[in-house]
Amino acid sequence: MLAISLLTALLMLFIYKKTSNQEGIRLVKSRIKASLLEIRLYQNDLRTQLASQKDLLLANLKYLLYNLKPLLVMIVPIFLILAQLNLWFASRPAAPGETFLLKARFMKTVDLERLRLDLEVPPGLVVETPPVRIIDEAEVAWRLKVTGPANEPLVIQVNGERYQKIIPLGKSRLTRVSTVRVKRNLWQELLYPGERPLPKDSLLEKIELGFEPQKLNLLGISFHWLVAYFLLSVILGLVLKGPFKVEI
């Protein structure tokens, strides 16, 4: 996570430097400092105080506008990075002896009671419950137990159609874990890039594994990976802005 945050900080500094008005930011920051100094020096002069506060407000608005363009440009690469990091840090693979839920979400127009469902699991997995059909949610769920390594995907049969789902298992904390396979849709595919999408004409909207969330630990303190990623990226960016001569 530290290495990825460092690379992210370097990328964001590069984008910020290339897309922002560096000279304008430098001047408006000087104007903000000058206004703050005037407010401090002329505490007993009401007219000067009001003028300085007005200048301070306008300078802050201008500073925000200078930051708008680079922030909009950064959204795209950050979104793509987060989608990939989610595969590595969001969930931990199930270990032997543990159970998890397998959920199949269908289109709202599908009559779940009339569906012919069958579940094929590879060696290393055992199906502990029959399919539970949740009509209001258009969802079917099974509970599975891990008994050993599973080297093949499981298969959900829906009216004779076969849909596979990879089951990431293992003991390593740093494992690429795809918990969701979605139907072909650009937005959903960008959010969940771990597997090839389900066919567009599929009755299934999504196949999901209910794995346990993963936490990052530092000095006995647990962090959500998003918190660790953003804190590290911001701190490293602030540390490196001087050597790379980036005005923020």
The domain locations on the chain are: 2-90+219-240, 99-209
Count of CB atoms situated within 10 Å of the CB of 204: 20
Residues 143 and 166: beta-carbon distance below 8 Å: no
Report residue 144 as tokens. Answer: 């599975």
Percent of the chain with pLDDT over 90: 77
pTM of the model: 0.84
Percent of the chain with pLDDT over 70: 98
Lowest mean pLDDT among 2-16, 31-45, 75-89, 227-241: 31-45
Q: What is the mean pLDDT of residues 176-195?
A: 92
Q: For residues 3 and 1, what is the distance between their CA atoms, to the nearest angstrom?
A: 5
Q: For residues 229 and 85, what is the distance between their CA atoms, to the nearest angstrom?
A: 9
Count of CB atoms situated within 10 Å of the CB of 125: 23
Distances (CA, A) of 157 to 41, 62, 115, 227: 76, 58, 10, 39
Residues 198 and 184: beta-carbon distance below 8 Å: yes
